[in-house]
Amino acid sequence: MKLWFSLVLVATVLCVHWVQGRVNDVRVEITEQDEQTPILDDALIQRINSQDLPWTAGRNRRFERISVADAKRMMGTRPMDTEARQKLEKMRIGRPKPSTQKSKKGPVKFPVNFDSKTQWPGCVHAVLDQGQCGSCWAFGATEALSDRFCIASNGTVNVVLSPESLVSCDWEGNFGCDGGIPQLAWEYMEWAGVLTLTCFPYTAGDGNAPPCATSCENQNEPYKSYYAKEFSTHEYWTAWEIQNAIYNDGPVEGTLEVYSDFIQYTSGVYVLASNATDLGGHAIKMTGWGHDTKSGLDYWIVQNSWGTDWGMNGMFWIQRGVDMCGIDSGATAGYASV
């Protein structure tokens, strides 16, 4: 117990230090060796499983025949830096001033375990796969808004929104398969909206985004955009704020820094292992939290966008309350416009 706790403490310090220092970087450097090196690493898996960590590593079928370079290109979350904030203010020129509406007040103490899937049955939609495109920022945004539409409407608006709408259409500070900023994605969904996945299917998984759709692929479906409520987008910078947002309104889009060990994750509460290398920033959908009695760790319940052949059928747990790899800060969500 003392061994893995010490490893968790060291990993947390290293992970948080690196994330806080990442201000103007866009992508982690990709080398020629990265192009030739498989991301699945049996030696790394063996080292992880020998460290007595609270999680298990293995070969995830999703990343077979994927190189380190390919994995780095999937990490498409860019930082909300000064330039991005200036872009955000520019996008708001000519629009009404933001409301002063505050986040809903949460309980003094949250339940030990909370899962949006059980709290709102049928409203947390299935795991998707971004493919070989740095579009995680778009998946996290549209997936969270899809769930929030269902929750806010008591199930009457139950649609899966299209990440392709953001990848192909949102160029207001975002860059398609080359990455994007979650906060700007939510701002775009406030004023431009997004189509459903059946109207505009996701085809950018090969790294090439199609043009922005002007009609539905399914001709029987009306060309209709779904919006985040105007000026409802919030950024959440503490674990409590994220819990409060999920508890009241459903899943949020979160961000974290991904390391090579994370690719090998199969189950348990993820904490950064020693000697893992950085791959880049990633966006995901945070759906709840819990407490692991075996390790004694609090954790987040998170839905990834790497399909069901990774992790726990596309899901993972990660330590909560210590800002493990930045997961406790930099989350974003807005309300559904119902």
- Residues annotated as catalytic are 136, 282, 304
Quote the strand ranges of the chain, DSSP E: 55-57, 114-115, 234-236, 252-259, 265-270, 278-292, 297-303, 315-319, 331-333
Q: Using CA atoms, how far apart are residues 150 and 157, in angstroms rounded to an integer?
A: 5
Cβ(275)–Cβ(264) below 8 Å: no
Q: Using CA atoms, how far apart are residues 86 and 138, in angstroms rounded to an integer?
A: 20
Pairing of strands 114-115, 265-270: unpaired
Q: Using CA atoms, how far apart are residues 142 and 113, in angstroms rounded to an integer?
A: 25
Alpha carbon dihedral 315, 318, 323, 329, in 10-degree steps, equals: 10
For residue 257, the cross-strand partners are 281
Q: Using CA atoms, how far apart are residues 282 and 194, in angstroms rounded to an integer?
A: 21
